[in-house]
Amino acid sequence: MREFQYFARNLYWYSATILTAGLFAALWLIQETAFAAAALGITFLSFVSNRALTRRVEKASEQKRHLDQQLIQSQKLAAIGELSSGIAHEINNPLAIIGQETEWIWHLLKKDSLPSPEADQELRGSLQEIVRQVDRCKEITHKLLDFARKKEPLIQKADLNKLIEDMARLVEKEATQNKIRIVRDYQQDLPRVETDPPLLRQVVLNLLNNAAHAVEKDGTITISTQESANNTVELVFRDTGCGISKEHLDKIFDPFFTTKPTGKGTGLGLSISHGIITRLGGRISVVSEVGKGATFTIELPVKPLRGEP
């Protein structure tokens, strides 16, 4: 009986232990399963929401691309609109003068069958004016053609110090007569740049010419070249001229924008320069204040990226 009691007590303890262990094991299992299920659920949910998010991002990117395209298109249209109205103005003025001179010639011819010496003089004057105005129109249309014709740049390695110096000498002759000093600050070991030398020459000449006009008399044009970060070179043209007002600065690279008197400038020089520098993979910028001169900076890559220009 004692043995039986001993056995029963032991069995009780064994069972209790096993049951407790089983309970803990079951609890542990339930917990782990719950954790695993929760983790699985979270993974699934995050997968689903990630997919939805990805889809939304893709859709947003697509919409952005579409909007960007629309923006570019509308900017292009706006540019064409501005350009057309600029062309209309620049061409209509000489046309109006041609029309008037022709009317005056008719008037003189109606009056006399054989023109008097004074009328003859006036006739010649009117004809000369017509030729002058036709030349004015021709200059505008030729520059426009240059502007429109995207000449494919022909890339060659060039020493930009030499390229700029050639143009500086060209401008210097006239500049010296107006007591304008050209100061050079070239970086001697400037890396040779892969670019289109004739196109770049056109830009440099345009900037130096503008600088000389801005200075007019008694001033300085400083040209500096230097290598800068990201494998680029910087060409800086600083003048001590009249400077550019804040409202003009925004329009300085716009086609037909000019501060020169009517008939003296077409307002295409800087916009052509801007186009060339962009095609050469670079950037052109200006800093100026009225009465404090202007600084034009060209940044050019030493080696243009592929597809650029």
Partner 1 sequence: MPSSAKVLIVDDEERFRITLRKLLTANGLETNAVGSGREAIEELKQQPYDVILLDVKMPEMDGIEALAELKKISKNVEVIILTGHASVDVAVEIMRLGGYEYLLKPCPMDELLAKIESAYERKTARDERLRKAEATPTNPSS
Footprint of partner 1 (CB under 8 A): 85, 88-93, 95-101, 103-104, 107, 126, 129, 133, 259, 261-263
Nearer to partner 1, 105 or 207 (CB): 105
Q: In sequence order, what are the residues at sequence separation of 6 or more whose Cβ sits closer than 8 angstroms to the Cβ of residue 183?
A: 220, 221, 222, 223
Least distance from partner 1 to the Cβ atom of residue 122, Å: 9
For the bound state, the minimum distance from the C-beta of residue 133 to partner 1, rounded and expressed in Å, comes to: 8
Measured from the CB atom, the residue of 126 and 161 that comes closer to partner 1 is 126
Nearer to partner 1, 91 or 302 (CB): 91
> At its nearest, how many Å lie between partner 1 and the CB of residue 96?
4
What are the tokens at 173? 């002759």
- Report, in Å, the least distance between residue 89 CB and partner 1: 4
Provide the minimum distance between the beta carbon of 250 and partner 1 in the complex, in angstroms, as a whole number: 17
Distances (CA, A) of 27 to 14, 35, 63, 268, 291: 19, 12, 52, 84, 86
List CB contacts of 226: < 8 A, sequence separation 6 or more.
Answer: 187, 190, 233, 234, 236
Amino acid at 163: L
The least distance separating partner 1 from the CB of residue 237, rounded to whole angstroms, comes to 25
3-state SS string for 211-270:
HHHHHCCCEEEEEEEEEECCCEEEEEEEECCCCCCHHHHCCCCCCCCCCCCCCCCCCCHH
Nearer to partner 1, 85 or 121 (CB): 85
Q: How far apart are the first and last CA of the chain?
A: 106
CB nearer to partner 1: pick between 104 and 186: 104
With tokens 């939805």, the residue in question is: 52
Which is closer to partner 1, CB of 98 or CB of 205? 98
CB of 64 or CB of 107, closer to partner 1? 107
List, in order, residues 6 or more apart from 170 with CB less than 8 Å away: 205, 208
Minimum distance of partner 1 from residue 129's CB (angstroms): 6
Cβ(130)–Cβ(102) below 8 Å: yes
Rounded to whole angstroms, how far apart are CA atoms 28 and 197?
79
CB of 148 to partner 1, least distance (A): 21
Nearer to partner 1, 89 or 142 (CB): 89
Residue among 133 and 232 whose Cβ is closer to partner 1: 133
User: 74: number of CA atoms within 13 Å, CB side?
Assistant: 5
Q: How far is the CB of 104 from partner 1 (least distance, A)?
A: 6
Distance CA 294, CA 248 (A): 12
Any idea what DSSP says for residue 292? S
Give the integer Cα–Cα distance in Å for 221 and 235. Answer: 13
